[in-house]
Amino acid sequence: MDLARSPLALPFPAIPPIDGVTLRIARARYKEWDRCDLTFAELAEGTSVAGVFTKNVCCSSEVELGREQIKGGSARALIVNAGNSNAFTGYRGREAVEQIMGQVADHLGCATNEVFVSSTGVIGVPLPKDKARAGVEAVLDAQPCGWEDATNTIGTTDTFAKGAHASAMIGDTRVEIAGIVKGSGMIAPDMATMLGYIFTDAAVSPAFLQECLSAANRQTFSCITVDSDTSTSDTVLAFATGKAGHAQLTSFDDPGADAFMAALHDVCRELAHLVVRDGEGAQKFIAVHVSGAVSDESARTIGLAIANSPLVKTAIAGGDANWGRVVMAVGKAGEPANRDTLSIGFGGHWAAREGQPVEGYDEAPVAAHLAGQEIDIAVDLGMGDGRASVWTCDLTHGYIDINADYRS
């Protein structure tokens, strides 16, 4: 199925090279397609690594191995296979991953657990070892490429390439952070996985890199939803080559650590938003801002209940300021809420305040807001200081087209 470019797509940004990172792509022909589908990022010696992974219990071998590997804290290579997720393939799938790790480690002269592997695509078919072996051989010899080519190569049914960039000053040293991502939850028929990769020339200890990535993840990748479904392979890895040459960051007490954290957070948020913008059938980008909850975590749970509600998402698709459905979604979240202190608004206009419809509520400006592509929903619980923002897209006929009307 040819998927039309998302109406919410953004152009690929200018991203500078990251010192210590070399990108290469090749054709492994995991599917019958005429495109590159194997990506190799070679990382300088001394690169720190951190990662966050899907909570899905039926995760892939890649995710199981990755969780173990990041404990070592050190990375020399990333391999991404597109077209086959290698999930639910038992020991045969695991052997294919271990073969790739060994092959790359031999080439680089590094430890196998410094080679990180991700796969994305069809579920239930073991990654073919022969295609993987030939593909890796080709990619090790390939010419270096740029960010956009690598991003297109990790994609499957993505309708546009998704990248982000930020920089930060650590003392007098400017460091760069580049990020690329593919996916939008579970994408098209038989296709799975959000995969995100962040590369920086900053010098960061593995433990602190993990602390920063986990913190950023909680407020970015963990605050987006397309359809509430959780892939078996979701992975975000961060690599810090240290080539910028400043003193290594090891905690928030170090000068420049806050600036680095802020820039990393920016990249993660931008990548997370781009995934939503490529959500299946998305016509509108929806930000849900929850305040007044009893805690930040409670606010996030309530925000996700709203963002996952098919009735809220279809109402927004229809341009309908249906705050009753938002009330319903708040109430079903299972978090502390009080109907009589609850306020709900759209695009800066309150529709209901403290448990009552607003007197003389003028729907015209709200309708104008909802006719646009960028939608804001505000919910104030009136109970405490907890707040969170989550992001999603609307639920449209396009989603049904992609997921029901056609089998890849």
**Residues within the annotated binding site?**
156, 182, 193, 280, 403, 408
* Residue 306 beta carbon to its own copies: minimum distance, rounded to whole angstroms: 11
Residue 259 to residue 272: CA distance in whole angstroms: 20
Measured from the CB atom, the residue of 7 and 310 that comes closer to its own copies is: 310
Please choose, from the candidates 204, 211, 207, 197, the residue with its C-alpha nearest in 3D space to the C-alpha of residue 243.
204
Task: Pick out residues in 58-117 that bind its own copies (CB under 8 A).
Answer: 58-59, 87-90
Is position 193 annotated as part of the catalytic site? yes
Residue 95 to residue 128: CA distance in whole angstroms: 10
Measured from the CB atom, the residue of 2 and 55 that comes closer to its own copies is: 55
Catalytic residue chosen out of the listed positions 193, 235, 301, 392? 193
By the rule CB under 8 A, 240 interacts with its own copies = no
* Residue 342 beta carbon to its own copies: minimum distance, rounded to whole angstroms: 7
Token pair recorded at residue 82: 């597109």
Q: Of these, 16, 318, 348, 372, which contacts its own copies (CB under 8 A)?
A: 318
* Residue 83 beta carbon to its own copies: minimum distance, rounded to whole angstroms: 14
Distances (CA, A) of 263 to 48, 103, 145, 151: 17, 34, 24, 20
One-character DSSP codes across 143-169: PEE-HHHHHHHH-SS-SS-EEEEEEEE
Q: Which residues of 238-260 are buried (b: 16+ CB within 10 A; e: fewer)?
A: bbbbbbbebeebbeeebebbebb
CB 390 within 8 A of CB 304: yes
Q: Of these, 95, 98, 148, 190, which contacts its own copies (CB under 8 A)?
A: 190
Q: Of these, 236, 286, 330, 390, which contacts its own copies (CB under 8 A)?
A: 330
What is the total count of residues that contact its own copies (CB under 8 A)?
A: 65
Helix locations, 142-285, DSSP H: 147-154, 206-219, 257-277
Please choose, from the candidates 273, 207, 206, the residue with its C-alpha nearest in 3D space to the C-alpha of residue 241.
206
Stretch that binds its own copies, among 2-10, 103-111, 154-162, 330-338 (CB under 8 A): 330-338
Task: Pick out residues in 264-303 that bind its own copies (CB under 8 A).
Answer: none
Q: Which residues bind its own copies (CB under 8 A)?
A: 55-59, 87-90, 122-125, 186, 189-190, 192, 227-232, 308-311, 314-315, 317-318, 320, 322-325, 327-337, 339-340, 342, 352, 355-357, 394-397, 399-400, 403-407
Tell me the catalytic residues: 193
